Structure 1
Amino acid sequence: MRVLHYADVEAGLDSPERAGRLATVLREEGGDDPVVTDGGDTLAPGVLGLSTKGKHALAFQDAVSPAVATFGNHDFDHGRTAAREVTWESPARYVTGNVMEGGQPFGDAAPWTIVDRADGALGVVGITDPDASVPDSLAVEDPIRAVRTAVSELRDHGVRAVLVLAHAGDDVVRTVARQQGVDAIAAGHVHRVGRERVSGTPIVRPGVNGEVVWELDFDGERVTTDDHDVERAVVDESVAEILQAERYRVGLEDTVGYLEEPLVRDTAKRLVGRERAGSLVATAYREGASADVGVLDTLAIREGPRLSGTVSRGDVVGLVPFAAPLCRIEVSGRTLSRLLRESVVTDDRAARGPGAYACWLQVAGATLGVADDGTVESVRVDGEPIDGNRDYVVGTNTYVLGSDEFPAVDRRHLLAQGDDQYEAVVALFEQGRTSGIPDGFVEPV
């Protein structure tokens, strides 16, 4: 029995060629009749999903026929109704043991399912990380308890093996791996390609945007794993043509500007506040809100290819493909100083970056002097120290206002909301104002 696992396809479906290669791998690898599994974040974030409410993913799922899928946190980006409709229309059986609505698994999902093949029955459990950004209207219960309950019930049904689809971070996934009765974990949520064993249980992660497909072989006493590189696969033209036609239909191929200097998304540089892409989006927020300072959450900027030369609407929206309004807020100088200082973190979030700290906001209009250990030595707005006795206008988004990651600000500071935040980035390109953007906002001290 073999499983082919993908997860976090996200913006991979915005690239018809990438999606076509991924479809080929899922159709042609894994031997006869493999069990294809979807680890979540297939409906979003991505540019096409903003127009289709995630339903563009159904064309891909119809092509690759996943047997089982679970929910990623971004699968709810377009709202519960849209997520529920895709769940009903998908060829996959959705499973979740811990994303609940009204005391039941969301969207008519099951807590677990059994997939029968000629060589045995595979039990599949689905879980989502409670710390992920699932809507507050849904209850995300203890994933470890959900796995224990499902394993017990599946073993009573005599399954040959139990696979956990875990859209979750490392701590949750590794704890699940230590549970008795779990044979393998096909994970998502963390955007890296990798595999490891914890307490003998294999864990695989396929990265983001369709980087690899993991194959799990349950035929021997020990589950073995192998990765299939999507980049080298032949494009499935039938899938590519459907998605390309959809891009034209919603205007994603329209030209919006030109870049004389390539724009490269570099997560490591962004996390230390020295990346031009982060500064560009923050500048768009600042100008779009007519503000003194622009800020956005660092993880809002999605991975993707570098942009250069003629740039399309889809290219630009793909930098921050979230339907969140651009917000204009007013804060005191003391509050602004607190917001910017607290955005340089040295806790466990710093492990995502290359050094002792991570910048949890991207900033325009202000500079931070930061020591190697993450100590913020200075904060300046337009080259001048922040005046604690005056008010400042800040352009940001609703996530920053609503997240407990940025406790200095909330909706009490809101002056106005505008169009979806990515429209400000498109406007920056359309106005030809992308030159001279600085390479970051952090100055080493």
Structure 2
Amino acid sequence: MPNARQLHILHFNDVYNIEPAGHIGGAARFVTALRSFAELQPLVLFSGDVFSPSTISTATRGQHLVQVLKACNIDAACFGNHDFDFGVDNLVQCSQETGFPWLLSNIIDRETGRPLAEGLETVCIDHRASGLRIGIVGLVELEWVDTLSTVDPEDIRFFDFCTRGEQLAAKLKSEQSCDLVIALTHMRWPNDRKLARAAHHIDIILGGHDHNYGIEFVNNRAIVKSGTDFRQFSVVSLSIDKSSPLEVKIQTVDVDSSKYSEDPEVAKAVESHVENLEKSMQRVLGQVDCPLECRFEHIRTKETNMGNFMCDIVLTALQADFVLVNSGSFRADCVVPAGDFRLGDLSRLFPMLDPLVVISIDGRTLLATLENGVSMWPALEGRFPQVSGLRFRFDGTRPPGSRVDPSSVQIGDKPMVADTQYRMATKYYLYCGKDGYDMLPGCQLLVDDEDGPVWSVAVQNYFTASGVLRGWLQLKNRHRCRLRPMNRRLSCVVDSRPETEPETAGPPPTKRSRLRKNPRENWATVRREFAPCAAAESNSTDEEPAFAAPRPSVEGRIVETSGLAAGDGETGRGDEEDQREAGE
């Protein structure tokens, strides 16, 4: 096309670890690779997920990525689900410090009437090199929006990405005279394909959320996913001629040490962040009012208050009926003293980035799961369970496979039913069949390891929320982790009406009746539904009461009925989780 105008785009998504993996990737090398295409005068676009999760972000809450993103000279980005991991306040601060616009076109904050996290609805860029006016929208899917633990669903409105995307794209072309509209998305492949089929005014989709590199053409529209972790990016070359269809060429760039050296300034920053990680471990997250029992001889043979506390926190972060994890998850073989709970305590407790998932499990499979959990008792095996929202009894003297009393298993306050499907929160590690839980991979995955939070991040959010309620912390907005189990909250409100100004429309219908509007009544609900968070009564009628420091206890969730002393068996570690920690 001799009269066509040329536009070059550098696109990437889902970057977490700034350190290289051997000779592959790394933020410093990635910046060098991007800059090697400077002669193209490209548009640099990013499709979300950067501020979490990683080992360093556990300490910095994503602040260490700001300098890296600035060095990438990004023109526009959309938010991803993990960008919300440390809360809306933290995300607003990080995103504003990057100096480029962030989009979130189909989620409206009910408090402000504008896109959540101070994102933008659309962006228009006049690209000098090509002479093109380019419109950009940022679209996300409900599947992960409904899993955010730091945003209460009743505080936001979600708009169907197809309807909203088509509406905004048409407006960009008709009212803003855009020659081209790009959708930056953070959605799974099926939803990106759905968008490509439905939104006729969107010219190309540059996506994230999926980590595998991929290119598809759907309805004559390109969908590009550009890998993960600073290992790859795409060079998308467009030829635009109004008399001809859009021509798209895509080049995959692998960030390899044989091709690209490290940018010295970014490499120095990476080294500094790694060195400062140990200092960050002294940061106080919050307080606990009693010692937390985590010695292996206890937590691997019986219910402990540490196990209860950490599993209860999982229920605040995931939409689940109950939680079951392996006690091998808890790596600190000690009693954590009462008082300040520091980031170092959390790091020693959960040194690995353990993603949490939700699966659908029936009563029969749950019984088999519990049987596996107690099958090696009283040996100190990491498969022994810690739970929340679940109670059961077992006899350790009976043969493995027949130790659990089926009539004792309760989900919440109701007996387990063999044919009933339940939502179980657990670790992705167990869903993969590790530690003998080979019955779990056959269960339906409802929230996968990409949409589910990292356990240590959920704990940090819990302490942030409790700090707000105790008056120690102040947030600029009301969005934060809630301290009642997520399965007791509303699901996200969905509105698919094609509104021009969604913030001025009347309230949409909700999926379920709302909580009572009296804050004191709502706090009473929190107290009933999340016992470890119970606080002293307050006379306040318009605020949540002062929040007492956690004082978790042993509540009879797991009861061994034979009376045989735990620890009479083997004391060797030898389970898969220990081998994973040792790098075997």
Q: What's 1:319 paired with?
A: 353
Change (3 A) 1:332 1:251: same
Determine if contact 1:98/1:128 at 8 Å carries over to the other structure.
yes
Amino acid of the residue matched to residue 150 of structure 1? Answer: L
Q: What's 1:184 paired with?
A: 204
Is 2:18 the counterpart of 1:13?
A: yes
Determine if contact 1:2/1:217 at 8 Å carries over to the other structure.
yes
Determine if contact 1:20/1:235 at 8 Å carries over to the other structure.
yes
1:174 to 182, 193, 203: 193
1:92 to 83, 93, 100: 100
2:388 to 329, 334, 340: 329
Take 1:285 and 1:158, find their aligned partners in 2: how far apart are those partners? 66
1:4 Cα offset (Å): 0.7
Take 1:238 and 1:33, find their aligned partners in 2: how far apart are those partners? 22
Change (3 A) 1:167 1:286: farther
1:186 Cα offset (Å): 0.7
Is 2:109 the counterpart of 1:109?
A: no
Q: What's 1:230 paired with?
A: 255
1:287 Cα offset (Å): 8.1
Amino acid of the residue matched to residue 437 of structure 1? Answer: D
1:213 to 230, 233, 239: 233
Amino acid of the residue matched to residue 245 of structure 1? Answer: S
Identify the structure with the greater strand proportion: 1
Change (3 A) 1:412 1:68: same
1:365-384 equivalent positions in 2, closer than 5 A: 367=437, 369=439
Take 1:434 and 1:401, find their aligned partners in 2: how far apart are those partners? 36
1:74 Cα offset (Å): 0.9
Q: TM-score, normalised by structure 2?
A: 0.50
Determine if contact 1:344/1:359 at 8 Å carries over to the other structure.
no
1:13-412 equivalent positions in 2, closer than 5 A: 13=18, 15=20, 18-29=26-37, 31-101=39-109, 102-117=112-127, 118-119=129-130, 120-132=132-144, 133-134=147-148, 135-136=151-152, 137-156=155-174, 157-178=176-197, 179-219=199-239, 221-232=246-257, 233-251=260-278, 289=306, 295-296=324-325, 317-320=351-354, 329=388, 331-333=390-392, 334-335=409-410, 361=431, 367=437, 369=439, 402=486, 412=529
Change (3 A) 1:290 1:229: same
Determine if contact 2:435/2:576 at 8 Å carries over to the other structure.
no
1:140 Cα offset (Å): 2.9
Take 2:55 and 2:301, find their aligned partners in 1: how far apart are those partners? 18
Take 1:237 and 1:283, find their aligned partners in 2: how far apart are those partners? 47
Change (3 A) 1:361 1:338: farther
Take 1:318 and 1:105, find their aligned partners in 2: how far apart are those partners? 34
Deviations 1:181-221 (A, max 9, x none): 21111100122111111111111112222231011111253
Deviations 1:320-361 (A, max 9, x none): 389xxxx8636223246779995899xxxxxxxxxxxx9984
Deviations 1:205-243 (A, max 9, x none): 122222310111112531221111123432223112102
Question: Which deviates more from structure 2 when the two are superposed, residues 133-142 or residues 76-85?
Answer: 133-142
Determine if contact 2:63/2:94 at 8 Å carries over to the other structure.
yes
Take 2:203 and 2:274, find their aligned partners in 1: how far apart are those partners? 40
Take 1:138 and 1:184, find their aligned partners in 2: how far apart are those partners? 28
What runs of 5+ residues in structure 1 fail to find an aligned partner?
255-281, 301-312, 346-357, 376-395, 405-409, 420-432, 441-445
Change (3 A) 1:328 1:46: same
Question: Which deviates more from structure 2 when the two are superposed, residues 1-10 or residues 82-91?
Answer: 82-91
Take 1:128 and 1:338, find their aligned partners in 2: how far apart are those partners? 37
1:28 Cα offset (Å): 1.5
Amino acid of the residue matched to residue 319 of structure 1? Answer: L
Change (3 A) 1:339 1:22: farther
Q: What's 1:438 paired with?
A: 576
Identical pairs, percent: 19
Change (3 A) 1:243 1:296: farther
Take 1:339 and 1:42, find their aligned partners in 2: how far apart are those partners? 42
Take 1:67 and 1:24, find their aligned partners in 2: how far apart are those partners? 17
Amino acid of the residue matched to residue 191 of structure 2? Answer: V
Larger radius of gyration: 2
SS of equivalent to 2:40: coil
1:408-423 equivalent positions in 2, closer than 5 A: 412=529, 415=532
Determine if contact 1:329/1:415 at 8 Å carries over to the other structure.
no
Report the number of matched residues: 344
Change (3 A) 1:283 1:91: farther
1:78 Cα offset (Å): 0.9
SS of equivalent to 1:86: helix
1:180 Cα offset (Å): 0.7
Determine if contact 1:39/1:70 at 8 Å carries over to the other structure.
yes
Determine if contact 2:431/2:437 at 8 Å carries over to the other structure.
no
1:18 Cα offset (Å): 0.8
Take 2:572 and 2:263, find their aligned partners in 1: how far apart are those partners? 36
Determine if contact 2:212/2:226 at 8 Å carries over to the other structure.
yes
Amino acid of the residue matched to residue 216 of structure 1? Answer: V
Q: What's 1:272 paired with?
A: none
